[in-house]
Structure formats: C-alpha cells, structure tokens
C-alpha cells in the first residue's frame, strides 16, 4: 500500500474529509488530495502531523510497520518503562502470567 493509499484509508476510518484533515494538519484539503493520489510526498514534519491527527505512528503511516499500535496501550507501556526496576519486574511478571493464561484458554 502506498503512502497516499494509507492516508486515504486512515482518513476515511476517522470519517474526516480531505479539508478536515488539511485543517488539522495545517495545510489545505487540496494538498491532502495530492498526497493521497501520490502526486507528491509530504515532508517528514507534515507526515508526522498527519500521523498524529490520524492517531497512528509515523512508521505505520509510511508502511515501515504493518501493525498499528494502540496509543492507549503504548502510553501504558511507557508508564511501566519509567517505573523503578522492582515495580517494572512485578508488573511484567504479572502481565506475562495473564498473557499465558489467555493463550492457554484459546487453545482449549
């Protein structure tokens, strides 16, 4: 999928018009249309703003990563990462146990 196709798909999922996306990004709907048609590529700065508005990572937007990371989940992971080592280890141990439990349930 091209960058333009990805922008189009994500924009439509968010129920945004090209003009709406353009306003939120700080450009025009006409420019968004050109991005979506792959006539031009946005600068890294603009692509980053598009990703933010569409609530995806820049890697996902440009196709470098094919799994969309949930922003709320990412926020939680960052919070855990910032904890002291002992608290982080306890949380990860518990999380590993819960993941294992869910996987075992899906097998049965």
Question: So what's the pLDDT on residue 100?
Answer: 95
Regarding whether 37 and 87 lie in a shared domain, the answer is no
- State the total domains in the chain: 2
Q: Which range marks the domain in which residue 12 is found?
A: 3-62
Regarding whether 90 and 41 lie in a shared domain, the answer is no
Q: Which residues of the chain have pLDDT under 70?
A: none
Rounded to 5°, the CA angle 104-70-100 comes to: 15
- Residue among 5, 11, 13, 2 nearest 50 (CA): 11
Regarding whether 86 and 54 lie in a shared domain, the answer is no
Eight-state DSSP code of residue 40: S
Contact partners, residue 84, CB within 8 Å, separation at least 6: none
Q: Is the overall model pTM greater than 0.85, yes or no?
A: no
- Neighbour tally for 21: CB within 10 Å: 26
Regarding whether 88 and 47 lie in a shared domain, the answer is no
Q: How far apart are CA 30 and CA 54, in angstroms?
A: 18
CATH number at residue 48: 1.10.260.40
Question: So what's the pLDDT on residue 53?
Answer: 96
């Amino acid at each position: 999928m091209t960058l333009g196709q990805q922008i189009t798909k994500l924009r439509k999922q968010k129920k945004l018009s090209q003009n709406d996306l353009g306003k939120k990004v700080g450009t025009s709907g006409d420019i968004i249309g050109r991005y979506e048609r792959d006539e031009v590529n946005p600068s890294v700065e603009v692509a980053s703003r598009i990703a933010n508005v569409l609530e995806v990572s820049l890697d996902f937007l440009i196709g470098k990563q094919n799994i969309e990371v949930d922003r709320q989940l990412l926020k939680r992971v960052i919070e855990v990462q910032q904890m002291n080592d002992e608290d982080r280890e306890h949380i990860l141990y518990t999380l590993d146990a819960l993941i294992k439990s869910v996987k075992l349930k899906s097998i049965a």
